[in-house]
Chain A
């Protein structure tokens, strides 16, 4: 098993954390994992893109030439990285911010992550909504795996944020169930 995921969005949309949670869950499950950020000179705004490779065998190059999955949070990232998806790959789009073209071979899921997160009361958890959706489709890890990692990331002062992140994860999962239902 090898899963190559490209995550992209505005700096500040939480792509870093999304990928990190998956990477840590992979590590906790004794899988090989590489997680590589590639950013421009902008500290805020700009496009942040992360290459995440999870595999049952040793990973050589951490740079993804063709992605199995593309998780995209905004339009500029979509324009920039859409061609990196492999035929019959998976695209998860934050439809609150991304308008997409037709990709005949690609499975596309549109999740209004920004709206869902805003309704929960914190737009910053849109990344976790996407994570919930991704988990439901690919089933690499259980929600518990991710919640374990979240509680490690959100210890101390950020502990209060755990509840809303958990809700965001569930909303993301439900969003996919409503597609399939």
Chain B
């Protein structure tokens, strides 16, 4: 049955469906619907809900529950996620599975509470100290939020690695019909590596400290091998109207929705605009973007930032075609019209582009 939920609520309910029974959070706009929802829902499923004293405490409670073998989650928004970075580095270093939801808001600093995609670098390049990666999934609808959060728990367990859900104020607060179609999980099997008390077995240690010279390098090599495996298996993207496209837009999350509007409007003209929407931001769909860059005349990355994913697109394209950028910052959300104008600007000699410009100007 479909329910009308905010993205924040859908994330919370999907976590419950996936068997998450330990949630730790701290209030921050625009993710408050998530923590509020969990405070009601967790006791109903005999789970744990703690409103922690800080984001730092919350991520460390997640660390504890993950080490003890529970499915666990925390959520926050940009400034709070910055505070969690120490904990995320430890989680990655101790190879502990968990799900972290970032409902991004504008920054830097306290910024504002409106939608932003300015935490891309922080999310996909590590975020905290040390050589590590977290799997980053970016939903662009409430239904996709529910689906990705559910999958995130399986991915986290499969690779013993934190998974970050990267949303924004718009996805978090937007209400759309959503359906929870997957299995409601309870009583999941115990994890063989988890701390449960050394009963009839040798003791176990969960740690990220390798003080003996050489050990840390061996451990890092193990991590890097794991990351290669993730890059091989877990790339997700959506391609829209991609073949024979003159311009390929590259956008994720909220920006991708607006780009879809642009693709729809372009159907009225003899002008082909495609869209690549990375769903996994790490691992990034570099190979597919590279392949498409051989066929497209140019690419245009659209973000609610000053140009962050842009760097990964350019690294993937390696100069095979020009990669342009259109972005809004500080809580600004691009309009479809602004994007069309940008397309016209980067393809000035194209006749079809001129028709598009007329369209844009009439509007």
A interface residues, Cβ below 8 angstroms from B = 20, 23-24, 27, 33-38, 41, 60-63, 65
Contact = CB atoms under 8 A, between A and B. Distances in A.
A36 B4 CA distance: 12
A58 to B, nearest CB: 8
B170 A35 contact: no
B175 A20 contact: yes
Interface stretch (B81-89, B183-191, B253-261): B253-261
B280 interface: no
Contacts of A65: 335-337
A60 B177 contact: no
Contacts, number: 47
A1 to B, nearest CB: 15
B258 A61 contact: yes
A62 B260 contact: no
A63 B173 CA distance: 12
Contacts of B257: 60-62
Contacts of A60: 257-258, 260-261, 264
Contacts of B258: 60-61, 63
Nearest to A63: B333
Interface in B1-55: 2, 4
Contact of B175 (A23, A38, A61, A63): A23
A60 B254 CA distance: 9
A24 B4 contact: yes
A27 B2 contact: yes
B68 interface: no
B170 A62 contact: yes
24 contacts: A20-B175, A23-B175, A27-B4, A33-B176, A34-B176, A35-B4, A35-B176, A36-B170, A36-B174, A37-B173, A41-B113, A60-B257, A60-B258, A60-B261, A60-B264, A61-B257, A61-B258, A62-B170, A62-B257, A63-B258, A63-B335, A65-B335, A65-B336, A65-B337
B175 A36 contact: yes
Interface of B: 2, 4, 113-114, 170, 173-177, 257-258, 260-261, 264, 333, 335-337
Contacts of B260: 60
Q: Shortest 5 CB-CB distances between A and B: which pairs?
A: A35-B175, A60-B261, A60-B260, A27-B177, A60-B257
Given A37-B173, A41-B113, 14 more contacts: A20-B175, A23-B4, A24-B4, A27-B177, A34-B175, A35-B4, A35-B175, A37-B175, A38-B114, A61-B258, A61-B261, A61-B335, A63-B170, A65-B335
A61 B260 CA distance: 8
Contacts of B264: 60
Residue with the highest number of chain B CB atoms closer than 10 Å, among A34, A37, A63:
A63
A108 B174 CA distance: 28
Nearest to A28: B2
A36 B174 CA distance: 5
A40 B337 CA distance: 25
Contacts of A24: 4
B37 to A, nearest CB: 16
A6 to B, nearest CB: 15
Contacts of A62: 170, 174, 176, 257
Contact of B174 (A20, A27, A34): A34
A128 to B, nearest CB: 18
Contacts of B174: 34-36, 62
A27 B335 CA distance: 26
A65 B261 CA distance: 12
Nearest to A50: B175
A33 B177 CA distance: 7
Nearest to A27: B177
Nearest to B255: A61
